[in-house]
Amino acid sequence: MTRGRPPAHTLERVIEAAIAVADADGLAAVTMRRIAGEIGAGAMSLYTYVPDKDRLVDAMVDRVGADVPAITPTGDWQGDLLAICRAQRASMLAHPWLPGALAARRITGRHMVAYLEQGLAALAPTRLDGSTKLEVIALLTGFVANFVANELAGPPTEEQVALIGEAVLSGDYPHLAAALAEGGSRVPTFDAIALRMIRGLADPVLWPGPDIL
């Protein structure tokens, strides 16, 4: 049947190794040599399975999409969208390189298509038109990625603290000084923000302007 030398590795194995490296040491550590070494192959052997590094990262993004649990629509479209956002967030927290990779990339791969389908299914009761639904999904995805990226960024740099402190002391930024002094009694939860975003974006009843989004 299949002629020629049989492959010693698999595409799946390459992608999984790349994801493991990214999870452990960040996306910058994902180099062809490193991945190849991780699976006991030569660097150039990877090009048997992947046309170039960019496609490898595409495949990584699509691969983690496979592990995100599917949300089947319940009819409560707000709840369904929130569940989708939560699942996305969980995936990004498990793979901290994901928000960054997603930011510089477009929809690719089967799982991404499934993700779109899932969002559209959840949005079905809203009666928004097709392109608006897609726009809403894109905006929500971007929101989650942005939120998680901020979450993962951790505390500000010493340098940033110095910059802000200097700004406050200068007296030229009274609102900033006030905001920092006041602080926040309660840290806003992801769910609360996401729900506001969902309602604000997708509810045509609550916001029936001349522009229906």
Burial (CB count within 10 angstroms: exposed 0-12, middle 13-18, buried 19+), residue 34: middle
Question: Is 116 an interacting residue with respect to a second copy (CB under 8 A)?
Answer: yes
Shortest CB 129 distance to a second copy, Å: 5
Q: Which stretch binds DNA (CB under 7 A): 50-58, 71-79, 117-125, 198-206?
A: 50-58
Contacting residues for 124 by C-beta, under 8 A, at least 6 apart: 73, 77
Question: Taking the mean position of all CA atoms in its chain, how far away is CA 56?
Answer: 17
Shortest CB 67 distance to a second copy, Å: 19
Within 13 Å of residue 154, how many CA atoms lie on the same side as its CB?
Answer: 3
Residue 48 interface partner, choices DNA, a second copy, none, CB cut-off 5-8 Å depending on type: DNA
Q: Which stretch binds a second copy (CB under 8 A): 2-10, 34-42, 80-88, 134-142?
A: 134-142
Shortest CB 96 distance to a second copy, Å: 13
Per DSSP, the three-state class of 37 is helix
Contacts to DNA by CB under 7 A: 1-9, 30-34, 41-45, 47-49, 52-54
